[in-house]
Amino acid sequence: MERRAGEDDRLYRNAGRKENVRTSRSRILSIAHKEFFHILRDFRTLIIVFLMPVVQLIMFGYALNLEIQRVDAAVIDFSRSTASRDLVERFEGSRFFRPFYFEGGVSQVGDLFKSRAARVALIIPSDFERQLLHASPVSLQVLIDASDSNAATLIRNYCNQVLVDYNASRGAQLPVPFDVRTAVLFNPNLKSSYFFVPGVIAMILVMISALLTSIAIAREKETGTMEQMLVSPVLPHEIILGKVLPYIALAFADAAVILFVGLLVFRVPFVGSAVLLVLLTTLYIITALSLGLMISTRVRTQQVAMMLALTVTLLPTILLSGLVFPIASMPAALQYVTYLVPARYYLLIVRGILLKGSLLGQLAAPALSLVAMSLVLLVVSVRRFSMNLER
Amino acid sequence: MTAPETRGIQITNFRKLYGKTEAVKEVSLSVERGELFGLIGPDGAGKTTLMRAVCTLLVPDGGTVLVQGRDAARDIAAVRARLGYMPQRFSLYQDLTVEQNLRFFADLFQVRQKEREGRLEELYRFSRLGPFKKRRAGALSGGMRQKLALSCALVHTPETLVLDEPTTGVDPVSRHEFWEILRAIQKEGTTILVSTAYLDEADRCDRVALMHEGRIVAVGTPEEIKAGFRHVLYRLAGRDARELRRFFSGLPQVHSTQLFGDAVHVVFAKKPGQSDWEEWRHALEGKLEHWSPERPSVEDVFLELIGSGR
């Protein structure tokens, strides 16, 4: 005879009506209040919760520098003309590249990359100067070592930038030699701090919300206090809300700290609406909490909760949300997986609001995705939340 | 059919499986209203499973459990509102103080503000935890922890109280005090179902059920249980108790022997005659100095019952 939690819940509500046991605001608050005490008593965890984002900001800010500078660039110049030397000087002039002339053939570029003597090769055709003068589209070959796909993307962007500058310097009256259409907006210097401060917010919020909530509920199961709580007439959503509320507050406090450090130390711009940011951050926190709840319904010990939460939240958030590695440079199969990572949507939201000043209408797609995710997770976890000691 | 309200707890053909293992096999039991009822048996007898079912925490695989006439598998909220439960493991919040724990459970059970302060005072008085209000639960001694857990289970003045091995691991003085407290609670009209692995605690209950391997092997008042002893128990004393035991356990008419400090308890299939004793005393060369019939304890009965089952 198998009875699922949902069925119990229904019986429970019927009985509740008969017995006049209604949802009690005071019961939710009382559980929340108790949870706050647990958080405050567990001082070490609290310190970690607030120190970790700062450490991560420093790590991402200084150690993991996504800005690439002084990339060795091999130049194979078949043209050997003034025009080609002029172009190479352009590359030399930018702080991104350190060009050197390479006398070997194009076929040897692979060896250059293997020995890391160069990460990009610029091949200038013999009729380069003639093409320029005749205003025909100029062909210029750029080979980039994509063993580090991230760096490759950046190098390509930098190349484009140099070429755009080159175009501009030749003046409008002359025919435009290169047809480069890339434009870097909102973060014209490709500063990585603009990139990782929102990323750290997304990561920390998932950590606090999913990891700590699932651990907090697993702890009650593990220490037997859930058993004691369940024999009271408390309702499942009262336990869930009560347990979750303090972590929403904690997540907000943490987000504020990160944003503050980001704005102040890393000079991240804040172009958009603060109200919209708070609103959509709440939505993201709710999604992450639902994920934590979902995990807690499946585990019985804190350790398993932690392992599971780390696996399903932290790793995908770092690796598959576009936080560090651009989604566009992932294999197609992985790109589909990223649709399941809440941080993917939140990064669009938070970067949009901070850097571009996006409005709600422009962020509707990621916001709705988060709403849908939260709803599915919440419904499943409330239904799975066992009000007895059966599995 | 008896009017359900007159019944404290009524368990009918209750079964519970864990996977393929049958933790409790077709158990029926009825606890009268206002009774102090003991569920007695060794670890793994199925006591906890049965009690959790009474507390609505497990769904039966067969049979029914009625608590004050309400089905514990269906009328969950009603049963929970009138029941106090103290799980086997200390399961209060160790990082909260005595007072915070009590108030938290008062909130969960929605004890009315009017009654709350009076109830808390009452609980502090009987548990003598008043002076330790501000102490963290984790810093309490074993006996005090159990009293706090009991207080939390009583905070909403339940009609039925279920206690799972409340005296396990508690020192003898605190155990004694704990049973006194249970008696006092019973006097207020509360039905109490308490389990213990200490067989000597059976005498503290109005009635007991002996459990073994998922079955109830005997039910009755402690006196009735002892009267059910089918063998004859003697207490023997002498210079070398071990030697005595060795000698008697080798005799065909002896059912079992047990060391009791300096003495030996010997269970005979039937009462030995005076000539038998003379013969044994002679055979033991004076090592047997004293023998007398002994009233069997619940433990003796239990050992007899499970021994005969082999």
For residue B302, give the CATH number of its domain.
3.30.70
Closest CA to B200 of B260, B143, B160: B260
Q: Are residues B240 and B104 in the same domain?
A: no
Strands B191-196 and B36-40: what pairing?
parallel
Torsion angle of the four alpha carbons A366, A370, A373, A378, in this order, in degrees rounded to the nearest 10? -170
Mean pLDDT for the stretch of residues A7-15? 42
Q: What is the mean pLDDT of chain B?
A: 89
Residue A135 confidence (pLDDT): 67
* Residue recorded with tokens 């409330």: A382
pLDDT tens digit sequence for B254-301: 888 888 888 898 999 888 888 888 888 888 888 888 889 988 888 888
B253, B269 contact by CB (below 8 A) = yes
pLDDT at B54: 94
> Confidence class of residue A9 from pLDDT cuts 50, 70 and 90?
very low
| B77 to A231: CB separation less than 8 angstroms, yes or no | no
- Both B219 and B276 in one domain: the answer is no
User: Which of B190, B207, B226 lies at the terminal end of a domain, its last residue?
Assistant: B226
Give residue-wise pLDDT tens across range B229-260: 888 999 998 888 888 888 998 888 888 888 88
Q: Are residues B8 and B97 in the same domain?
A: yes
Q: Which residue of B has its CA nearest to A17?
A: B77
What pLDDT does A190 receive? 52
Give the pair of three-digit tokens for residue A363: 């962020």
What is the pLDDT at residue A187?
A: 53
Query: Distance between alpha carbon B180 and the CA centroid of its chain, in Å?
Result: 14
What structural domains does chain A harbor? 22-63+191-384 (no CATH), 71-169 (3.40.1710.10)
Q: B48 falls in which pLDDT band (50, 70, 90)?
A: very high
Q: Which residues, listed in sequence order, are joined to residue B160 by a DSSP beta bridge?
A: B83, B191
Q: How far apart are CA A217 and CA A237, in angstroms?
A: 13
Contact call for residues B104 and A35 (beta carbons, < 8 A): no
Question: In sequence order, what are the residues at sequence separation of 6 or more whose Cβ sits closer than 8 angstroms to the Cβ of residue A139?
Answer: A125, A131
**pLDDT tens track for A207-238:** 888 988 999 999 999 988 998 898 888 888 88
Neighbours of B59 (CB within 10 A): 20
Residues B155 and B135 in one domain: yes
ipTM of the predicted structure?
0.80
Residues B99 and B186 in one domain: yes
The residue of chain B nearest to residue A19, with distances taken between CA atoms, is B78
Distance in angstroms (rounded) separating the CA atoms of residues B245 and B242: 5
Buried b (16+ CB within 10 A) or exposed e, A271-303: ebeeebbeebbebbbbbbbbbbbbbbbebeebe
Provide the number of structural domains found in chain B.
2
pLDDT, residue A171, reads: 57
Residues A257-282 have a mean pLDDT of 88
Please judge whether A231 and B55 are an interchain contact, meaning their C-beta atoms are less than 8 angstroms apart: yes
Edge-to-edge order in the sheet of strand A97-101: A97-101, A71-77, A120-124, A141-144
Structural domain that includes position B143: 4-226
Residue B47 pLDDT exceeds 70: yes
Are residues B289 and B143 part of one domain?
Answer: no
Domain finish residue from B209, B226, B243: B226
Q: Are B160 and B279 in a shared domain?
A: no
pLDDT value at residue A325 = 79
pLDDT of residue A87: 86
DSSP symbol at A154: H
Nearest to B77 among A21, A34, A225 (CB): A21
A interface residues, B as partner, C-beta within 8 Å: 1, 3, 8, 11-12, 15-16, 18-19, 21, 24, 26-27, 30-31, 34, 37-38, 41-42, 223-225, 227-234, 387-390
Q: pLDDT at position B250, please?
A: 87
Q: What's the whole-number mean pLDDT along residues A54-79?
A: 77
Distance from CA of A225 to the nearest CA of B (A): 5
Is residue A59 over pLDDT 80? no
Q: What is the CATH number of the domain that holds B27?
A: 3.40.50.300
B212 with B239, same domain: the answer is: no
- In sequence order, which ranges of chain B are alpha helices (DSSP H)? 47-54, 76-81, 98-108, 113-127, 142-154, 172-187, 222-227, 241-249, 274-283, 298-308
Residue B307, pLDDT above cutoff 80: no
